[in-house]
Amino acid sequence: MDFIEHLAIVPAYAISGLLVGILVGMTGVGGGSLMTPLLVLFFGFHPTTAVGTDLLFAAATKTVGTTIHSAGKTVDWQIVRRLATGSVPATIICLLLIGHFGVASKTVTSMISLTLGVALILSAIMLLFKDLIVALISRKFPNIGLNSPAWLTILVGFVLGVLVSLSSVGAGALGTVALIILYPRLPIVRIVGSDIAHAVPLTLLAGLGHWYLGTINFHLLESLLVGSIPGIVAGSYLARYSNDRVLKMCLGAILAVVGSKMLFK
């Protein structure tokens, strides 16, 4: 196909993928929270192109993570199915809306910028105050995690589907916190594994939809993957020697600032 024949590595994009990969490996923060605003604000890509490309980028990288978690039996497939029950129709609805209004329309551009800004600020809040938020909700609703009805998880999936389809952000920080609240007795490794496993079909479906709509930049995608894969490996190794709390505080502050900039740019 034509897009494969003309792929070429762009050093600036590969380096960006490397740096984001290192931060993801060190902190566990979703790549979309970092990559999408970087593509829009620094490299000047149209929001739909940045979101669409990052979705396929996320699908590729999270597939590796899911394979590892699945092999270690740290995925709760019932939770994944519940999340997907909500996220799949939400993703389809969002893609149909984007197609209806047009990927380059002012309505879609504003909608994506708004969703991206809100998702980044919410991710920053969750990153900075996750433990406090979980403790407050658990104290106010002590029975919330004892027997969580399936519809609550489906609702979380629907919200994640909207956020991820329109911004490529939210499946990591927001999804993890929501699952911790709904399933407090589940080991954290299974929470993370289930969240990552759900992100694969979500980002893949949304990414393929954006591909159909023509918003994927494959030159960019290839360069990002070339840089990010060794970056994630290196970041995972460096995480042993880093101050996790300081890193997440810094990243949380950055996401809040960038999210505000997306809202008011």
Query: What pLDDT digit, counting tens, does each position of 203-262 carry?
Result: 899 999 999 999 999 989 999 989 888 887 787 777 677 776 777 787 788 888 888 888
Query: What pLDDT digit, counting tens, does each position of 11-27 carry?
Result: 899 999 888 888 777 76
pLDDT at 108 over 70: yes
**Domain assignment of residue 86, given as a range:** 2-264
pLDDT at residue 265, as a whole number: 64
Query: What pLDDT digit, counting tens, does each position of 41-79 carry?
Result: 889 999 999 999 989 888 877 776 667 656 667 788 999
Residue with tokens 């290839």: 222
Average of pLDDT values for 179-193?
A: 82
pLDDT at residue 49, as a whole number: 93
Band (pLDDT 50/70/90 cuts) for residue 144 is low
Q: Which residue has the higher pLDDT, 1 or 185?
A: 185
pLDDT at residue 148, as a whole number: 73
Distance CA 20, CA 56 (A): 15
pLDDT at 80 over 80: yes
Band (pLDDT 50/70/90 cuts) for residue 85 is very high
Tokens of 129: 């105050």
Q: What is the DSSP string of the chain?
A: -HHHHT----HHHHHHHHHHHHHHHHH---HHHHHHHIIIIIS---HHHHHHHHHHHHHHHHHHHHHHHHHTT---HHHHHHHHHHHHHHHHHHHHHHHHH-TTSHHHHHHHHHHHHHHHHHHHHHHHHHHHHHHHHHHHSTTTTTS--HHHHHHHHHHHHHHHHHHS-STTHHHHHHHHHH-TTS-HHHHHHHHHHHHHHHHHHHHHHHHHHT---HHHHHHHHHHHHHHHHHHHHHGGGS-HHHHHHHHHHHHHHHHHHHHH-
pLDDT at 188 over 50: yes
pLDDT at 2 over 50: no
Band (pLDDT 50/70/90 cuts) for residue 104 is confident
Amino acid at 253: A
Band (pLDDT 50/70/90 cuts) for residue 89 is very high
pLDDT at 5 over 60: no
pLDDT at residue 30, as a whole number: 67
Average of pLDDT values for 121-126?
A: 86
% of the chain beyond a pLDDT of 90? 28
Distance CA 259, CA 114 (A): 9
pLDDT, the chain, mean: 83
At 67, give phi and psi (nearest 5°). Answer: -60, -45
Number of structural domains the chain divides into: 1
